[in-house]
């Protein structure tokens, strides 16, 4: 088995920038207002699934959200142009799709995140929805690929074992690493742990390097 640690992915794959128009994500600097916006939107997501006001308040809230949509709609941009998912200093890199994680390690031998789930992520009984964890692990697999210097890859499969209930409103640690690699294939592992080091869930998957022209 071989690994391409430390290599510029363009040396391994000259078509790195041209996989079916796969966007090249460069860091964005949208200003402090974007961070404030994300914080408010995350809280709004929590309240959207937990608030129980009177009907008039729901109508008032809908009016305000529609005003926000009208404000932002003229500025809708293509993938890779807007700041979402392009601000590494913000939780989840500035993407509301992602759980609000922050990177604490990004090295060839592994990636580590701190993540806190909230009411928005609950599936039932104050536990994180089981479908949210594959999203976290899949994102981590992509980070591992980048950290090892391997070219753009897509997930071929992802398996999750749920060991314990994942709680909300507490800081958790996610770790991911490249187990082995051969040609276009990279096998990746990850785990999610609580503050006491208990494994809440673990995952393994296969990432496949894209061929020229593959989106």
In tens, the pLDDT along 41-62 reads 999 999 999 999 999 999 999 9
The maximal CA–CA distance of the chain, rounded, in angstroms, is 63
Is it true that domain 14-209 has CATH number 2.40.110.10?
no
Residue 202 scores a pLDDT above 70: yes
- H or E segment to which residue 192 belongs: strand 185-193
| Count of other CB atoms within 10 angstroms of residue 181 | 20
How far apart CA 83 and CA 88 sit, in angstroms, is 10
The 10s digit of each residue's pLDDT in 134-168 is: 999 999 999 999 999 888 899 999 999 999 999 99
Query: So what's the pLDDT on residue 8?
Result: 54
Q: How many CA atoms lie within 13 A of 28 on its CB side?
A: 20
């Amino acid at each position: 088995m071989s690994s391409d640690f430390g290599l510029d992915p363009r040396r391994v794959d000259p078509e790195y920038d041209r996989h079916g128009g796969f966007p090249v994500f460069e860091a964005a600097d949208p200003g402090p207002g974007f961070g404030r916006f994300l914080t408010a939107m995350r809280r709004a997501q929590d309240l959207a699934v937990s608030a129980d006001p009177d009907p008039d308040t729901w109508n008032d809230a809908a009016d305000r959200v529609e005003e926000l949509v009208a404000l932002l709609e003229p500025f809708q941009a293509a993938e890779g142009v807007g700041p979402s998912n392009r601000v590494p200093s913000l939780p989840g890199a500035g993407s509301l799709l992602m759980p609000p994680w922050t990177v604490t390690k990004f090295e060839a031998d592994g990636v580590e995140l701190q993540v806190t789930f909230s009411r928005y992520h609950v599936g039932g009984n104050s536990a994180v929805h089981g479908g949210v964890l594959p999203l976290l692990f899949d994102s981590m697999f992509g980070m591992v690929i980048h950290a090892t210097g391997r070219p753009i890859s897509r997930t071929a499969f992802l398996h999750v074992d749920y060991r314990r209930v994942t709680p909300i409103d507490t800081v958790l640690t996610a770790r991911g690493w490249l187990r082995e690699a051969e040609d276009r294939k990279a096998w990746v592992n990850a785990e999610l742990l609580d503050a006491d080091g208990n494994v809440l869930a673990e995952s393994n998957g296969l990432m496949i390097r894209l061929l020229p022209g593959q989106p």
